[in-house]
């Protein structure tokens, strides 16, 4: 009888232990969540994270704490999440520059974008724009590309730095059109804008948010945006596709990822709540002010976008011979 009771006790205990993971997932979250931003405060990645974290925390019933861990072009904070416990309490604010460009421009990165992360969902796309000094004797993309081919040193275009998405976009434009463009990297898009307004360089490839007011005021010419549709904030500026470059679509994006092996139930819950947050008109407006077009969608679609960009940006980087400075 004692042996029978002991066997029943052991069996009951094992059954209970087996239900613990399911119980933990069903009560998720029961404590604050850390959202690691691998950059300093004040930039678009940081501000977009804070816009989303505030409303997401309210929906989840737990605070989502933004934790800035900058360094090595985002590699340090990103690796921190890759090594974190896959329990849904440490998440990453993923940025395309870190996730799909760094693996190609750095000789070595401390994470594998596909193997080490589980996509939660994309937050949105930051539309990129090519702008020109108003004194340039060419006002549309076709004429600018033609003009570049007559210049022995090419037309100089500035970006926020080597290996960033605007740089990749500029190199892709060269490869697709044969344009004679010479890259000038800056330590941030702000100084590049100042120099093109001052006439020191002909062109700048940047985010719409950084150039918007200058295009509106006439200090710069909006040549083309590299999104599929025109920007709602600059509706008079055509897309590259409209301007004669087929299938030329390249945006900078931000999204949320979790460590690999995070339980699917947790990922599904986070994706559903993130989608609800991004459907909130107030959140969409706040992101729009940052130049980000909210794009709620499935985790699988986000994962497909990441793999697509890894492949196509890798090809651009290899052809252009881009290396991190």
Same domain, 96 and 171: no
In the chain, the number of structural domains is 2
Other beta carbons within 10 angstroms of residue 11's beta carbon come to 10
* H or E element at residue 123: strand 117-126
Looking at the fold, whether 119 and 201 belong to one and the same domain comes out as no
Q: Give pLDDT, residue 2.
A: 47
Asked if residue 269 is part of any domain, the answer here is: yes
Exposure on the CB side of residue 214, measured as CA atoms within 13 A: 26
Say if residue 92 is in the same domain as residue 147.
no
pLDDT tens digits, 24-62:
456 899 999 999 999 988 888 899 999 999 999 999 999
pLDDT at 8: 46
Domain holding 219, by residue range, is 128-225
In three-state secondary structure terms, 243 is coil
User: What is the predicted pLDDT for the residue at 15?
Assistant: 52
- Phi/psi for 125 (5° steps) reads -110, 135
Specify if 65 maps to a domain.
Answer: yes
Please check whether residue 124 is in contact with residue 264, taking contact to mean a CB–CB distance below 8 angstroms: no
Does any domain span residue 79? yes
Residue of 62, 31, 52, 166 lying closest to 120 (CA atoms): 52
Question: Residue 218 belongs to a domain with what CATH number?
Answer: 3.40.190.10
Ranges of residues in the chain with a pLDDT under 70 are 1-26
Domain match, 154 and 87 both:
no
Tell whether 50 and 102 lie within a shared domain.
yes
Residues 133 and 99 in one domain: no
Q: What was the pLDDT predicted at 324?
A: 86
Task: Answer yes or no: is 2 within a domain.
Answer: no
- Is 119 in the same domain as 264? yes
Residue 125 pLDDT: 93
| Residues 298, 307: Cα–Cα separation, whole Å | 15
pTM equals 0.85
User: Can you give the CATH number for the domain in which 260 is found?
Assistant: 3.40.190.150
Q: What is the pLDDT of residue 233?
A: 87
The reply to whether 120 and 38 lie within a common domain is yes
Residues 161 and 300 in one domain: no
Antiparallel, parallel or unpaired: β 33-37 and 203-207: unpaired
């Amino acid at each position: 009888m004692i042996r029978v009771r002991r066997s029943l006790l052991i069996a009951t205990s094992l059954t209970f232990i087996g239900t613990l993971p399911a119980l933990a997932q069903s009560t998720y979250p029961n404590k604050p969540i850390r959202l690691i931003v691998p950059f300093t405060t004040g930039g678009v990645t940081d501000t977009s994270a804070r816009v989303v974290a505030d409303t997401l925390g309210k929906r989840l019933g737990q605070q989502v704490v933004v934790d800035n861990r900058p360094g090595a072009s985002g590699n340090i904070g990103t690796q921190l999440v890759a090594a974190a416990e896959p329990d849904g309490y440490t998440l990453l604010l993923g940025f395309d520059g870190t996730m799909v460009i760094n693996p190609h421009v750095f000789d070595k990165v401390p994470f594998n974008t596909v193997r080490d992360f589980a996509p939660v969902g994309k937050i949105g796309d930051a539309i990129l724009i090519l702008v020109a000094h108003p004194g340039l004797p060419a006002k549309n993309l076709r004429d600018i590309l033609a003009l570049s081919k007559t210049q022995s040193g090419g037309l100089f275009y500035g970006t926020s730095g080597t290996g960033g998405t605007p740089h990749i976009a500029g190199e892709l434009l060269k490869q697709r059109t044969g344009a004679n463009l010479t890259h000038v990297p800056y330590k941030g898009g702000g100084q590049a804008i100042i120099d093109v307004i001052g006439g020191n360089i002909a062109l700048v490839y940047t985010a719409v948010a950084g150039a918007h007011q200058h295009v509106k005021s006439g200090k710069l010419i909006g040549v083309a945006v590299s999104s599929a549709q025109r920007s709602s904030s600059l509706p008079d500026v055509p897309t590259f596709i409209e301007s004669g470059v087929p299938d030329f679509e390249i945006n900078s994006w931000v999204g949320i990822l979790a460590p690999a092996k995070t339980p699917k139930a947790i990922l599904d819950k986070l994706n559903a709540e993130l989608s609800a947050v991004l459907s909130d008109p107030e959140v969409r407006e706040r992101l729009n002010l940052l130049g980000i077009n909210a794009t709620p969608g499935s985790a699988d679609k986000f994962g497909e976008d990441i793999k697509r960009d890894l492949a196509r940006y890798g090809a651009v980087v290899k052809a252009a011979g881009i290396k991190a400075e």
